[in-house]
Structure 1
């Protein structure tokens, strides 16, 4: 069944900027809701055009190459621009993208950052004073480079004319919310979600919670404990504090972790902290002692010893081996 909406004077036009090594799944998660919305409405209300720095094919992070519809300089009128970000973030040679994004903002285009696309909006100074988000792996890197930003841990953020989301399939959550606005409407957006077989998640749902849902068959108390650990890395909680908050005896908490994860609570907490530290090392440039402190280690030497035990090399050696 088709639904109707007041026809706009002309289609709303989305420009999708493909940064080399962009996320292919994120591109599809932006485009398909727009395509399906046109089908539900029975007319072309939304247009989308893929853009490259030039006319050449752009390689995605999984090696599939996409020939853009045009170079970004030839994009014409755009109502919204979405930067489909790469993995890993490319931090050099951004001048051309930065200048073009600033010109689009000056022309009144809404701006979106998908996956790591938020980094490029921030680089252009276009997220200052806006609430935004980015994939959880890159949040520390974004804040390290742009400490003035307000960066949430939500799946998606819509703040006036800035739209950001965290990558993977989260652009679907963002687009469903945007499609509920004129020239679309909530009933049409719901039909698009149904066609995508997408569970309608709230954009303000936290990414950390989604990651913990991989333990979905585990008891709720374990999920609660893991979430507390994820949210308290720089200043780790004691097991007594976690147990007290959950209303459990410490021994009960230990049995729960051993039964469900094969690890003690302390071992699991250490793993979470080391994983967070490794992400900071491999994706950023902060000194090792600062990374150690951000992961809750009072002693850098203790951090280095634990890191080498977990990953087989020192933090400095691991960072030196990362691909440029």
Structure 2
């Protein structure tokens, strides 16, 4: 399918293609990378000429290895790029270890030269570590949000699918790269081309930066009960300073006993137990994804006593917070 002559006239055919530079971090996520590069390929085919170009970059300049073990050929190493290039950092698992000093120095240098830089999936962590998101809005995969907020309070973290803040882009991972690229294509060449690309991808619902990345609470827990969803939302928003079951019940207009029965019926656990599991889940994320001390992790998750935190953690995960931290210490080195 070709775009109309009127649509082509919106761009100057003599200008060189816009080039994207994909920096492949070690163990990057293939889905996020593919979701960014495929819309560009399809846009070129539909448009009938190369309006987008791309290069693959990695620190070792030999191959990029994604989290599923597949390898990609690399076009170049950490060389000086054109000022007009858009650099997209492709993150994945163990992003702390993949964010090395040479990569940070390269990103800072390119930023000083005025480059537009974005992070796909956990790539926002690398941008923040390089100081490129200070005072900016950004997003990152929901699993990494707790640790990101603790380490980078100067970044205005959102729960959006993607964020464009000036010359800084970020996506939440998964298929959110598609949404960002469709926005870029629409801005460059019009909504018709972006919609046609989406059709080719069989992508029936294009999301904007106003859409959030996680499923709604009723969808996640498999229960559609407005008061139950409201209580769980309150719990998720108050991890550091937990709210008592009595106050939770009062805030949604029911008795403590009614709240207890509600949780037992739909989630097969007490409100107190469910709340504890939320807090311990956040604690585990912080232990594995940050270098925060165990004491600070305990405080961030609403435990006044490290010993009580350790006891609860061991009961739920069958290991202590210290052993969990030791088992994942290698993932945190930069």
TM beyond 0.5? yes
Matched, 1:186 2:196: no
Pick the aligned partner of 1:18 from 24, 28, 31: 24
Aligned to 1:315: 321
- CA RMSD, aligned part only? 2.4
Matched, 1:110 2:107: no
Per the alignment, in what secondary structure is the counterpart of residue 21 of structure 2? strand
CA drift of 1:160 comes to 0.9
CA drift of 1:95 comes to 2.5
Q: Which has the higher contact order (CA 8 A, sep 6+)?
A: 2
Pick the aligned partner of 1:120 from 99, 121, 126: 126
Quote the Cα distance in structure 2 between the aligned partners of 1:257 and 1:179: 46
Aligned to 1:7: 11
- Is the CA contact (8 Å cut-off) linking 1:11 and 1:47 kept in structure 2? yes
Judged with a 3 Å threshold, the aligned counterparts in structure 2 of structure 1 residues 116 and 223 are, in CA distance, closer, same or farther, namely: same
Pick the aligned partner of 1:269 from 272, 275, 278: 275
CA drift of 1:306 comes to 0.6
Gaps in structure 1 of 5+ consecutive residues? none
Judged with a 3 Å threshold, the aligned counterparts in structure 2 of structure 1 residues 178 and 236 are, in CA distance, closer, same or farther, namely: farther
- Is the CA contact (8 Å cut-off) linking 1:15 and 1:78 kept in structure 2? no
CA drift of 1:220 comes to 4.2
Q: Deviations over 1:247-272 (max 9, x none)?
A: 44444433332232222222111111
TM-score w.r.t. structure 2 length? Answer: 0.87
Quote the Cα distance in structure 1 between the aligned partners of 2:254 and 2:166: 43
TM-score w.r.t. structure 1 length? Answer: 0.89
- Is the CA contact (8 Å cut-off) linking 2:27 and 2:92 kept in structure 1? yes
Pick the aligned partner of 2:287 from 274, 278, 281: 281
Q: Deviations over 1:223-256 (max 9, x none)?
A: 3332222222111222233334434444443333
Moved more, 267-276 or 84-93: 84-93
Quote the Cα distance in structure 2 between the aligned partners of 1:312 and 1:298: 21
Matched, 1:197 2:205: no
